[in-house]
Amino acid sequence: MPYAIDVPRMPSLPIIGSPARFPLRRIFCIGRNYADHAREMGAPVEKDTPLFFCKPADAVVTDGADVPYPQATADLHHEVEMVVALGAGGRDLTPEAAGELVWGYGVGLDLTRRDLQAQAKAKSHPWDVAKAFDHSAPVSALVPRAQATLDDATVLQLSVNGELRQQTTLGDMVHSVPEIIATLSRLFALKAGDLIFTGTPAGVAALHRGDRFHAELVGVATLDGRIS
């Protein structure tokens, strides 16, 4: 079938140890999944009603590329997160079945235009302009699930210009990965290629042009980058 314009390039992520790439379909994110971060933002933790939002797949920044400082903000914030890639999909899944959808893991930054988010919150507006902007999702290369060892003691952390900014363990998540996937599957038809940002701990703060960041899901994946 001919198309009226050139077909956009499919966003994808590198895979550690493989020349193949992981194609991206959608990016889902969960908010307030670490109680300490919810508290620092002055928000409640609601176990029964998790907060979800989305980013476009082409918001990813990969392969060590610089992250352009976004337009329309004077307060860009970092939020380090474990990233989960799905290799299969489904609807209305149990947590046990949902966990089997995981293809691999990585680490990423949910970049946020905090001033625009504050304005949206004050007016009870959606967060899209604060979260879903261009280049708002730097992500590491993915590690296949079979090659990754994770447990509640696995450390997630971020340093900026050599200074530790955020650090937690996966056991501090309010909603586990299987719970996140199961809940999403009751809201969306999940499919292979979906990416899930699983929440950030306390310590979010501003990034500026020239800052260098090092994000790490310790023992699994690392992400290094620069704000340009």
Burial of 186-210, coded b for 16+ CB within 10 Å and e otherwise, reads eeeebeebbbbbbbbbbbbeebeee
Pairing of strands 80-86, 12-15: unpaired
Mean pLDDT of 101-124: 97
Confidence tier at 29 by pLDDT (50, 70, 90): very high
Pairing of strands 155-160, 212-217: antiparallel
Query: Are 120 and 175 contacting, i.e. CB atoms less than 8 angstroms apart?
Result: no
Answer whether residue 59 is part of any domain.
no
Answer whether residue 10 is part of any domain.
no
Q: Is the pLDDT of residue 38 over 80?
A: no
Q: Is the pLDDT of residue 93 over 90?
A: yes
> Domain of 198: which CATH number?
3.90.850.10
Confidence tier at 43 by pLDDT (50, 70, 90): confident
Answer whether residue 35 is part of any domain.
yes
Spatial distance between the Cα atoms of 73 and 216, rounded to a whole number of angstroms? 26
Answer whether residue 8 is part of any domain.
no
Share of the chain above pLDDT 70, in %: 100
Answer whether residue 3 is part of any domain.
no
Extract the tokens encoding 98. Answer: 């949902």
Confidence tier at 124 by pLDDT (50, 70, 90): very high
User: Domain tally for the chain?
Assistant: 1
Query: Are 82 and 180 contacting, i.e. CB atoms less than 8 angstroms apart?
Result: no
Answer whether residue 61 is part of any domain.
no
pLDDT value, residue 81: 98
| pLDDT tens sequence across 146-197 | 999 999 999 999 999 999 999 999 999 999 999 999 999 999 999 999 999 9
Q: What is the torsional sign of CA 191, 144, 173, 44? A: negative
Mean pLDDT of 83-105: 98
Of residues 91, 121, 118, the one with CA closest to residue 194: 91
Pairing of strands 137-138, 60-61: parallel
| pLDDT tens sequence across 184-216 | 999 999 999 999 999 999 999 999 999 999 999
Name the residue with tokens 């979906």.
194
Name the residue with tokens 């950030």.
200
pLDDT value, residue 78: 98
Which domain range does residue 105 map to? Answer: 17-54+66-226
Three-class SS of 143-181: EEHHHCCCCCCCEEEEEECCEEEEEEEHHHECCCHHHHH
Q: Is the pLDDT of residue 46 over 90?
A: no
CA dihedral 43, 44, 45, 46 (to 10 degrees): -120
pLDDT value, residue 53: 97
pLDDT value, residue 45: 77
Spatial distance between the Cα atoms of 195 and 26, rounded to a whole number of angstroms? 6
**Beta pairing partners, 139:** 108
Query: Are 177 and 198 contacting, i.e. CB atoms less than 8 angstroms apart?
Result: yes
Answer whether residue 9 is part of any domain.
no
pLDDT value, residue 36: 81
